[in-house]
Amino acid sequence: MIKWLTTVLMAFFLCLPAAAQEELQIKDIEKGTGEEANVGETVVVHYTGWLMDGTKFDSSVDRGTPFSFTLGERRVIPGWEKGVEGMQVGGKRELIIPPEMAYGAQGAGGVIPPNATLKFEIELLDVKGKKFSDIGNKELEEKLAAGATVIDIRRPDEWRETGVLEGSHLVTFFDESGNVNPEFGAKLQQLISGPADEVVLICRTGRRSQVLSEYLAGQAGFTNVVNVQDGIMSWIADGGQVAEATMPEKCWLC
């Protein structure tokens, strides 16, 4: 669990380009007619990738094995995240991905040179619905009133800075360097009786809680995970009430 989460979080921060010097080019070769691929859903694709000189460097088609990933998890390069979103099952797209949205100055695996623009042809074979739900501030208010188990996964300095939701549980997920709290799983088990129980996750802007929601619902067998989509900053901006943070008796980073 920890290894997987750390990999995802590193990719999340390292793969986002500061500013692309070139535009991602998206061309529909064939329009699909099936379900649309949206953030939070798992997509199954066939693909072939080329360097711009025509050198083919990878192909799931040649291997005969489709590739799957979840949009929004940042487990693939940013050009794929943006290029696949909105496709419909049965469709094919050509993506021309600038290096800033691919592998950048470092290249990859001795196959993709530094600062390489890449060309992909992607066919969307299937879309599997996301296994967690996103909510906004109105739904969060209802959850709080109903006594739902709400877990604030931010760091102690963030709790102190903004305050916290009254009645929420404060359990840091990972520190500022991306290290996962080794006690998180045990703390979660103390708060719920099992993976079928509802758990509501909140962070600063919804990004970290989305990653954790993806893991719990997609990999750990939880069936009632709720992500506060825009985080506590949106709650505060909308006039939501917060309380002063009281540090847990045993706090990983306190």
* Residues labelled catalytic: 47, 57-58, 77, 103, 120
Please enumerate in sequence order all residues whose Cβ is within 8 A of that of 197, keeping only pairs 6 or more positions apart, or say none. Answer: 149, 224
Taking alpha carbons only, the member of 90, 81, 96 closest to residue 26 is 96
Measured between alpha carbons, how far is 254 from 240 in angstroms, rounded to an integer? 26
Measured between alpha carbons, how far is 241 from 246 in angstroms, rounded to an integer? 16
Burial of 19 (0-12, 13-18, 19+ CB in 10 A): exposed
Measured distance between the N- and C-terminal CA atoms of the chain, rounded to whole angstroms:
23
Measured between alpha carbons, how far is 93 from 125 in angstroms, rounded to an integer? 12
Distances (CA, A) of 229 to 40, 101, 135, 177, 234: 11, 24, 6, 23, 9
HSE at residue 252, side-chain half, CA atoms within 13 A, is: 19
CB 67 within 8 A of CB 80: no
Question: How many other CB atoms sit within 10 Å of the CB of residue 55?
Answer: 12
Residue linked to tokens 């102690």: 156
